[in-house]
Amino acid sequence: MTNTVKNDRAAWFCGPSATCSNLPPQRARIWRLVLLGAPGVGKGTQAELLVERLGVCQLATGDVFRAAAKSTNASLTPAMAAAVGHMRKGELVPDTTVWEIVRERSSCLRCRGGFVLDGFPRTIMQANALQELMKSEGLELDGVLNYELPTAEIVARISGRRVCEKCKAVFHVTGRPPKVAGVCDQCGGKLIQREDDRPESVKVRLETYDRATSPLIDFYRNLGKLIPISAEGTPDEVFARTTAAL
């Protein structure tokens, strides 16, 4: 069933001083999920489908960072201000700062619409901290969805991507080819392959992801929360596997 209530996620974007303008109705079944998946597996699309069809809120840490970067310093919490400071220096936001940003949004974890956490946790420290916070709130994760795809398929997906130099429209050499090879359908600009989309770069990104995520996968498997999902096929086919597994 498609969710018809749109939550602006103000509390997630802005922090504890904000209130969401359109809270979802109370449901008999509330889903609380974490998403894992390497770049290129379609995790973002599955997050959108979970929001649309299960009515959950997508709580993506990347969204918080982007919102913080656009805000005035006066409106930032100390954790958000610290994150912005690191980003402006071109540094990664430390685990402890990321955790503080999530912790100060604990009301979002209690949201009656449920949630899907995207981009968090990324480390064992963050996973343990989340586990303790949810326990203190009397909450429990329903599952950790781990979207899986063979490395060769991921490389083909990402390395086939082409981006317009002018309008930034995205195409794919096989999945969504332009009408004229190398030319953007929308503005006629030149389509290019980004440096980090080249096969050799993709393989390095995947190796880095595997090293960082393997401990998390083991952590949630040991808790009995890990739900492996094959990411092969269309988005609807993958979503059908997701709901069947849930």
112 given a catalytic annotation:
no
Q: Which of 6, 135, 190, 194 is catalytic?
A: 194
137-149 burial, b for 16+ CB within 10 Å, e for fewer?
eeeebbbbbbbeb
Q: Which of 32, 105, 157, 161 is catalytic?
A: 161
9 given a catalytic annotation:
no
- Taking alpha carbons only, the member of 230, 11, 246, 223 closest to residue 121 is 223
Helices (H) and strands (E) in the chain, counts: 10, 8
198 given a catalytic annotation:
no
**What is the distance, to the nearest Å, from the Cα of residue 67 to the centroid of all Cα atoms in its chain?**
15
Q: Which of 27, 53, 103, 122 is catalytic?
A: 122
Q: How far apart are CA 104 and CA 110, in angstroms?
A: 12
Helix (H) / strand (E) element for 162: namely strand 161-164
Q: Residue 36 has what DSSP assignment?
A: E
Q: Are 233 and 65 in contact (CB under 8 A)?
A: no
Q: Which of 53, 203, 205, 221 is catalytic?
A: 205
70 given a catalytic annotation:
no
Q: Which of 32, 43, 105, 225 is catalytic?
A: 43
Q: How far apart are CA 43 and CA 157, in angstroms?
A: 13
- Taking alpha carbons only, the member of 185, 194, 205 closest to residue 162 is 194
Which residues are designated catalytic?
Answer: 43, 122, 161, 194, 205
